[in-house]
Amino acid sequence: MSNKELYKQKMQAQLDEWEADIDKLKAKAAGANASAKLEWHKDIDALKVKIAHGKTKLTEIENASDEAWESIKEGADTAWDSLKTAMVEAKSKFKI
């Protein structure tokens, strides 16, 4: 299996995990009071934007040639680091 394929699988698995975490946040937010719900949904919406950006980067890597994907990987890694930080902060903030 190529490095590109291994990278894609790793990133897809991480996206799946983060999407499951967002589902947990949504479930927890459902039981919160109105003002807390607003805050939770604001954070959840921001995470969804970052997830979408991560999916875009993953698609770019999937569509890149085996020779070109390494140059795209740097941008994907940056997006991933940002998403990872946001997810860790949200999970800590909302204790999931």
pLDDT tens for 6-59 read 999 999 999 999 999 999 888 888 888 888 888 888 889 999 999 999 899 899
Determine the Cα–Cα distance for residues 81 and 11; give it in Å rounded to an integer.
11
pTM (whole model) above 0.85 = no
Spell out the domain ranges in the chain.
3-93
At 50, list the tokens: 């970052």
pLDDT of residue 6: 92
Best CA proximity match to 58, nearest among 38, 33, 83: 83
pLDDT of residue 35: 82
